[in-house]
């Protein structure tokens, strides 16, 4: 087996398995990238399916593993967890840290085509073409049994990547996702900066628009989304009703659960984490 490009930076015993943090030199990004991986005890006996988690604005590869509380449930089901960073680090693009919702820690899981972002901000290609194949090759992870989930900006990423790469991801869920980024301030700002002013090109990165294009249900086993009704971003930024309508129009089963009082943070995410891991386990635990 070739030597691994994944450099282990730390590891911690966790629920009978191991929580690891890695960095590697990304050829797609052109910079070092960081990620975290939880391997359950079952990975000592062979390859295990994995759930990919994409974090939201201002977060990094540690956020989910320290705040999400998913390892307990992943250990019970025998699933690995994979969490990448949310953007390149060290690009040193002027102004990349000026706003919390664009640039650093806000890569939106797209490939930028606008200068100066296009040289490094290539998160979609990085995840699909480099990171997941690398993890599957060098860790005991079954690349043929992957699910994807995420929170907020990461929920947008999970939904859009699942819809664009249905042969890669068997299952999908999201927590408080940005469901129609072409129709909210966060999305319009990010897409204009990364993709340019032609809003027609933005549709390829909008979950509601992508779903509306489907001719049949892409995930007949269902999509799970949890949304807090006390979320201060719900009305202006998230628009789950638009995805709900698109799913209904194409016959895509959607379990959109609305929860009174819950806000946008990780107290909300961790509350419903067990249900999301179980949702993915149904699709991932058969060969």
Could you confirm whether 264 is annotated as catalytic?
Answer: yes
Active-site option among 136, 152, 173, 283:
152
Please give the backbone phi and psi of residue 183, each rounded to the nearest 5 degrees, phi first: -120, 25
The answer to whether 61 and 162 are in contact (CB under 8 A) is: no
Could you confirm whether 231 is annotated as catalytic?
Answer: yes
Active-site option among 231, 276, 279, 283:
231
Active-site option among 77, 264, 276, 279:
264
Residues marked as catalytic: 152, 231, 264
């Amino acid at each position: 087996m070739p030597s691994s490009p994944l450099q282990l930076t730390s590891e911690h015993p966790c629920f009978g398995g191991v929580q690891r943090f890695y960095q590697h030199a990304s050829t797609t990004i052109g910079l070092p990238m960081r990620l975290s991986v939880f391997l359950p005890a079952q990975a000592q006996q062979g390859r295990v399916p994995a759930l990919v988690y994409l974090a939201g604005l201002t977060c990094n590869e540690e956020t989910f593993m320290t705040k999400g509380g998913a390892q307990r449930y992943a250990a019970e089901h025998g699933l690995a967890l994979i969490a990448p960073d949310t953007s390149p680090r060290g690009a040193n693009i002027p102004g990349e840290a000026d706003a919390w919702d664009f640039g650093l820690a806000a890569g939106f899981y797209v490939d930028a085509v606008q200068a100066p972002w296009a040289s490094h901000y290539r998160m979609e290609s990085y995840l699909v073409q480099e990171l997941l194949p690398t993890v599957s090759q060098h860790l005991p992870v079954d690349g043929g049994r992957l699910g994807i989930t995420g929170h907020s900006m990461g929920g947008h990423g999970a939904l859009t990547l699942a819809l664009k790469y249905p042969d890669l991801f068997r299952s999908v869920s999201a927590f408080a996702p940005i469901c129609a980024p072409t129709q909210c301030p966060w999305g319009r700002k990010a897409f204009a900066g990364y993709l340019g002013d032609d809003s027609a090109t933005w549709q390829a990165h909008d979950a509601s628009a992508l779903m509306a294009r489907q001719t049949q249900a892409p995930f007949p086993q269902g999509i799970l989304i949890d949304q807090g009704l006390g979320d201060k971003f719900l009305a202006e930024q998230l628009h789950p009703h638009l995805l709900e309508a698109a799913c209904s129009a194409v016959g895509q089963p959607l379990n959109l659960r609305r929860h009174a009082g819950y806000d946008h943070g990780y107290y909300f995410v961790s509350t419903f984490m067990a249900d999301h891991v179980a949702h993915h386990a149904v699709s991932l635990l058969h060969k």
